[in-house]
Amino acid sequence: MQRLLSPPLKALMGSPCLRLLVPRAAPRAQCGCSCGISRPLRPGQYSTVSEVALQAGRGTVSLPSKAAERVVGRWLLVCSGTVAGAVILGGVTRLTESGLSMVDWHLIKEMKPPTNQEEWEAEFQKYQQFPEFKILNHDMTLAEFKFIWYMEYSHRMWGRLVGLVYILPAAYFWRKGWLSRAMKGRVLALCGLVCFQGLLGWYMVKSGLEEKPDSHDIPRVSQYRLAAHLGSALVLYCASLWTSLSLLLPQHKLLSPRFKSLLATYWAVQLPETRQLLWLRRFAHGTAGLVFLTALSGAFVAGLDAGLVYNSFPKMGESWIPEDLFTFSPILRNVFENPTMVQFDHRILGITSVTAVTALYFLSRRIPLPRRTKVAAATLLALAYTQAGLGISTLLMYVPTPLAATHQSGSLALLTVALWLMNELRRVPK
């Protein structure tokens, strides 16, 4: 009976019943002398799996692996939701030109907002020393300042909430032993990216507070730093959501138990691991990358106010290709610093993304796929055309804040469904 204790502890702890009782055989304990004779226990004595864990030196009983995966998956799903909220709130902060209202950064001190008139006056005076007030908002009142200040304050406080949602549960799960070795590495990377994201946000704001005597442009943050800030947030969101879906979504079940024996041969022919399916997966990855790149290019549009340059569609003004695409020298600067070229690139990327999503949908129709995968492909197609309509409407109506914020949120929704479809295609069985 001693062989019952020979499997690894992890396999035993993975059992759905932690109190599974097994007869305890002779534990090879000596009888008190040096004869080496084992003394069997009396009948009716049992050993539990938890006792084995305690004897192994752990002292704690872990959740079964599947239950732990579900808990961690739901936690990461909540984390990705908080990151999505931060991205949306950051977009509204940018659209309302509120991002430069708080001119310093303190991790703890700034969590307390001004509470009386004297504190508000002091905060307003600090803002008046920087270029945005001197050049753009020199006639701003205290009431107007309070609005933009609270917008930026909300964004910063939400960022701190995101950090807590990641770090505190991660420490708890780590201590409880609910994270596998591979998951520990991912969680460390995600928490590190959260901290990096906060520092990058302040680095971005600093670029808009600097005096630029040689510039005649309105004060704004660097479009490069804005794109880096948005890009890192999107990477954090995608990584969290992908890991969550990988843990939570069940494997596709092709056959019901009732008809499995009758239809096994049929389904084996209909759903093989074919070259078509492999090619569809790769095309889905490329489409998701294109959607990500289109969303990232929107940061350059926002940073340069490029949405206000040509407010017509499909043409830009009176021509398909405007004459001022290559105004700057060297030519590569136009891609990132010329508002006309930035808007042109965003249009091309958007049209290409919609075309790729459409092609992906029709390709998926040619292969027999599980129902959930088909729903994901159809949802992606619907969102792609909705997002394109929002983008065109935002452009034609001179970028109203509610519509522009909806368009920015739509890019996040499109990216979400693209990740969902990728995960579903990965689960299509062989």
**pLDDT digit string, tens, across residues 182-238:** 999 999 999 999 999 999 999 999 999 988 777 667 888 999 999 999 999 999 999
Q: For 215, how many CA atoms within 13 A lie in the half-sphere containing its CB?
A: 11
Q: Looking at residue 160, what is its pLDDT?
A: 96
Mean pLDDT (the chain) is 83
Q: What angle do CA 258, 259, 260 make, to 5 degrees?
A: 100
346-353: average pLDDT? 97
pTM comes to 0.81
| 30: phi then psi, degrees, rounded to nearest 5 | -80, 155
> Quick one: which of 92, 90, 93 has its CA closest to 82?
90
CA-CA distances (angstroms) from residue 392 to 45, 72, 289, 349, 402? 76, 40, 22, 13, 14
pLDDT of residue 34: 39
Q: What is the pLDDT of residue 216?
A: 66
Q: Which residues pair with 23 in a beta bridge?
A: 46
pLDDT tier, 16 (very low <50, low <70, confident <90, very high otherwise): very low
Confidence of residue 263 (pLDDT cuts 50, 70, 90): very low
Burial 170-204 (b: 16+ CB within 10 A, else e): beebeeeebbeeebeebbeebbebbeebbebbeeb
List 316's β-bridge partners, or say none: 319
Highest mean pLDDT among 53-57, 155-159, 365-369, 424-428: 155-159
Tokens of 398: 């001179």
Selected residue with higher pLDDT from 49 and 347: 347
Judged against a pLDDT cut of 80, whether residue 44 lies above it is answered with no
Alpha-carbon distances of 166 from 191, 194, 290, rounded to whole Å: 6, 8, 28
Q: How confident is the model at residue 255 (pLDDT cuts 50, 70, 90)?
A: very low
Average pLDDT over every residue of 109-133: 93
Helices (H) and strands (E) in the chain, counts: 14, 2
Confidence grade of residue 65 (pLDDT, cut at 50, 70, 90): confident
- Weakest mean pLDDT among 70-79, 151-160, 244-253: 244-253
Going by pLDDT thresholds of 50, 70 and 90, the confidence category of residue 86 is very high
Q: What is the β-pairing status of strands 21-23 and 46-48?
A: antiparallel
The pLDDT assigned to 380 comes to 98
Q: Is the pLDDT of residue 313 over 90?
A: yes
Residue 8 gets which letter from DSSP?
Answer: -
Report, as an integer, the average pLDDT of 45-74. 57
Percent of the chain with pLDDT over 90: 70
Q: For position 110, what pLDDT does the model report?
A: 81
With cut-offs at 50, 70 and 90, classify the pLDDT of residue 12.
very low
